[in-house]
Amino acid sequence: MKYLPAVKTHNLLLASCWLLLVIPALAENVQRNPNVVYDLKHDVSLPLSVLAKNAPPPKPGMTEMREHRSPKHFFSISNVPDPVVQTEVLPDVHTTNLLSFDAITGVQGGAIPPDTNGSVGSTQYVLITNFDYAVYDKTTGNTILPPTRINVIWSGFGGQCQTNNGGDPIVLWDKMAQRWLVEQLEYFGGPNLVCVAVSTTADATGSYNRYSFSFGSALPDYPHISVWPDAYYLAVNSFGQGFGQPCALDRNAMLAGTAAAMVCFSPNSANFGFLPSDVDGNTLPPAGAPNHFLEIGNNNTSLKYFDFHVDFINTNNSTFTGPHTITVPAFTVLCGGGGGACIHQPSPGSLLDALGDRLMYRNAYRNFGDHESMVVAHSVRPGGGSTADAATRWYELRATPPGSAFTLYQAGTLQDKKMSVWMASVAMDKQGNIALGASVVSSTTVKPTIGYTGRIPSDPLGKMESAKLVAKGAGVQTGTNRWGDYSSMSVDSSDDCTFWYAQEYYKANGTNWIIHINSFKFTSCN
């Protein structure tokens, strides 16, 4: 069964067709004088394997997490023709499936949606959801640490980080340091926090350097963190201030377990849903390169990015520069731009959330030596020829040579005639092969299913190969519309070839979601 493709390529020769849609360039602004705060507390934990054994059993029941909708529309919601809908059918994606197994479930996690995220290290794969953390052997898939509440990492730390699980968790493998990075939100009474932990070794079940950072009365919603040579960069949607807020955490201090600063800017009320660039591959960004915060533009034909340079020695030297506007083929935002529920399942399923108002995690960065690339995706309304509710727009942005400005290299819209394709995550391997995983569903027969597709560099620009389905749904979600709020495509830095994708699906009707993990590689990559 194939749900893809249907992507008409963005060919560079077609650029003249949509360059007429270029918006007036927004003046770049160099922001200075950031807000600097220091961790409220930091310490070093006992090994997580010890803390988990002594942790009390989680309370039964299912918590529905708060909504993540943007407080206002920051972009045009008008319907426009999509010029890059893929209609050509390419051969099956050139990949070999490796491991494929079910992991954390809704009954174990205790929250909906799961906020699925995972990352692969030197010997382990770590999966994190609302509200659980689990560790697997990346060779066999065997469980090393069974699902354990995330706040167990902060046992003995005190305060909200220890007592609560606020959700929106992220786990990343810092391949430069061979450490694990864990983050989640806390907002259960006085000040709102982001809790961050950095493992002291490559073992995710070992000890962690633990931190809490305060955002005061503002809610740092939907925090998304990334790894960069000079900092851990963090993007939040600051409810209370009403805009996206970029921050940088002192990576060197956190790796050492010493006091750490957080440097933040407050751009303006027209920013929402930033994604900081996250390094893949063994070639680092150019020396001193800023991090690139990407977001959907303020109309149907643009993306914007900002350059964040941080200086932890003299924080007044830190800058946040932009927007740099990148013109892209026109798209129509999903669900009217508010990120609400508009995706149909077979009966008796609920309408499902789209989160069509933002880019989906990660903004995967890679330096190929002669150019830099960033790949990212978001959910859009399907173009002509489809009765589905949702499609996925994806982009590759390039800076040629490294250190120059990013421009659009290719783009495409993945859609099916009847099935919605959304909640995607995308990444690249060392050869430039792109993999994209997503949820798939129809309104009548296809229950929420997990699939992935991809492309090799010799494929026509903007086109993906025919997809593989890795976990076919046998149930629908009922009683709530919360879906996502993200999925996770990561790349194993050990071979820089193997992709790992984690996403939710159902084996029976209800709210007991199941996270399925699948690893695969392109046959040409070794």
Show the tokens assigned to 82: 């999509």
Q: Quick one: pLDDT band at residue 159, thresholds 50, 70, 90?
A: very high
Residue 17 phi, psi dihedral angles, 5° rounding: -70, -30
18 versus 339: the higher-pLDDT residue is: 339
- Kindly report whether the global pTM for this prediction surpasses the value 0.85: yes
Show the tokens assigned to 372: 């830099």
Whether 252 has a pLDDT exceeding 50, the answer reads: yes
Question: Tokens 């902060």 correspond to what residue?
Answer: 154
Q: Which of 512, 337, 342 is nearest to 443 (CA)?
A: 342
141 versus 73: the higher-pLDDT residue is: 141
Please give the Cα distance from 289 to 287 (Å, whole number).
6
Q: Which of 445, 454, 403 is nearest to 424 (CA)?
A: 454
So what CATH class is 12-522? mainly beta
- Give the rounded percent of residues in the chain with a pLDDT score beyond 90: 82
Whether 3 has a pLDDT exceeding 90, the answer reads: no
Q: In the chain, what are the domain boundaries? A: 12-522
Whether 390 has a pLDDT exceeding 60, the answer reads: yes
pLDDT at 7 (0 to 100): 36
**Do 394 and 409 touch, CB atoms closer than 8 A?**
no
Q: Is the peptide bond before 362 cis (omega within 30 degrees of 0)?
A: yes
pLDDT tens per residue across span 393-447:
999 999 999 999 999 999 999 999 999 999 999 999 999 999 999 999 999 999 9
pLDDT at 58 (0 to 100): 76
Which among 1-5, 115-119, 216-220 has the top mean pLDDT? 115-119
pLDDT tens per residue across span 443-492:
999 999 999 999 999 999 999 999 999 999 999 999 999 999 999 999 99
Burial class (CB in 10 A: 0-12, 13-18, 19+), 63: middle
Cα distances (angstroms) measured from residue 3 to each of 89, 325, 391, 464, 520: 11, 32, 11, 12, 19
pLDDT at 338 (0 to 100): 66
Contacts of residue 168, defined as CB under 8 A and 6 or more positions apart, other chains included, come to 115, 130, 184, 185, 221, 222, 223, 485
Contacts of residue 190, defined as CB under 8 A and 6 or more positions apart, other chains included, come to none
User: Beta strand pairing status for 352-353 and 95-105?
Assistant: unpaired
Q: Quick one: pLDDT band at residue 59, thresholds 50, 70, 90?
A: confident
